[in-house]
Amino acid sequence: MEYRFDIPVSSDKIKKLRVGDIVYISGKIFTARDEAHAKMFKAGKLPFNPSEMALYHCGPLMEKKGKSWKVVSAGPTTSGRMEIFEDKFIKKYGINIIIGKGGMGKKTKKALQKNIGVYTSYTGGAGALAAYHIEDVPAVYWLDELGMPEAIWIFEVKEFGPLVVAMDSHGGSIYREQSQ
């Protein structure tokens, strides 16, 4: 099945998604790699509301044009590095769509089931194409401290995909057990 969703997405809609489905999303997403995950846990009050957005495992290549930031290339990074944080992250921030590549482990799989979320895979390396579907960069956080790849970037995306549902809210996973 193929779906087109606006973010935030309701639990009812997330529940419909099954491993192997294709999704295109529109709305706000935020990037966070391992350092940003750790920093968010430590930060206390956040300058943005993650529960209204999808989480994108991505360290983008950005370029400053005048005062505003433009995306040059922004494909996914390896999600496995975030496995040690993700179950707590999903619970704490109410994340229900994760975009990444390579898959995640058992703890995340369980947390997605419990909190009704999905892990979706975007084609790794497809950074130039991804940039095409990012229409705006409304904000960036902790850029000076974390640097370009690790900072939290807020993207406004349109028809971002194809995202393959790789882990669903029913305990399903597309990945072989060995790779987890």
Partner 1 sequence: MAQKDIMQGIVQLIRKAETELPKDVIVALKHAHELEKGIAKIQLEVMLKNIDVARKTGRPICQDTGVQTFFVKVGLDFPHINTLKDLITDGVKKATVVVPLRPNNVDPFTGINHEKNDSWDDVLSITWDFVEGSDALITAFPKGGGSENMSKLKMFEPSDGIEGVKDFVVSEMIKAGGNPCPPTVVGVGIGGGADLAMKLGKIALLRPVGVRHKDKTIAKMEEELIRRINKSGIGPMGLGGKTTVLDVHIEKAHRHPASLPVGLVVQCWAARKADMIIHADGTFEVK
Q: How many residues bind partner 1 (CB under 8 A)?
A: 43
- Indicate which single residue of 127, 136, 139, 142 sits in contact with partner 1 (rule: CB under 8 A): 127
33 neighbors 58 (Cβ within 8 angstroms): yes
Is 75 exposed, middle or buried, given 0-12, 13-18 or 19+ CB atoms closer than 10 A?
buried
Kindly tell me which of 94 and 127 has the beta carbon lying closer to partner 1. Answer: 127
Can you tell me which of 10, 46, 114, 147 binds partner 1, judged by CB under 8 A?
147
> Is residue 37 annotated as part of the catalytic site, yes or no?
yes
Note whether 29 binds partner 1 by CB under 8 A. Answer: no
Indicate the residue among 62 and 93 with the shorter CB distance to partner 1.
62
Of 37, 57, 133, 170, the active-site residue reads 37
Torsions phi, psi of 58, nearest 5? -160, 135
Q: In 32-129, where do the E strands start and end?
A: 54-56, 61-65, 68-73, 97-100, 118-121
Smallest CA-to-CA distance from 22 within 111, 99, 126 is with 99
Residues at the site binding partner 1, with contacts judged by CB under 8 A: 20, 22, 35, 58-61, 63, 72-75, 77-78, 80, 101-103, 121, 123-132, 146-150, 162, 164, 166, 174-176, 178-180
